[in-house]
Amino acid sequence: MSRRLHIDPIACTGHGLCADLLPEAVELDEWGYPMLRTDAIGPGLLRHARRAVNACPTLALRLSKTTDQPSSAAQVRG
């Protein structure tokens, strides 16, 4: 079972910690808001993803369990 990464665009204030801690899955747009390179988090990235989720100061970043195919990308602006 893989995990899926989600960003709540309302809660996100663009601190950018997630992109620092999980650059494999998150990059920042030109305004400093996160864009998901991928929302699929495999076993090799799970520890880093959990660290990024725990570091998010606004609880905007979260992980969920999934068994289906991930979408390719998503963008958040707030």
Cβ of residue 50: shortest distance to ligand SF4, in angstroms?
13
The CB-side HSE value for 2 (13 A sphere, CA atoms) comes to 14
35-54: which residues touch ligand SF4 (CB under 6 A)?
Answer: none
Name which position in 3, 4, 5, 7 contacts ligand SF4 (CB under 6 A): 7
The CA dihedral of 70, 50, 60, 17, to the nearest 10 degrees, is -110
Tell me which residue of 9, 11, 17 sits closest to 59, measured CA to CA: 11
Are 29 and 35 spatial neighbours (Cβ–Cβ below 8 Å)? yes
Name which position in 18, 25, 36, 49 contacts ligand SF4 (CB under 6 A): 18
* 15 lines the binding site for ligand SF4 (CB under 6 A): yes
Binding site for ligand SF4 (CB under 6 A): 7, 12-18, 34, 56-58, 60-61
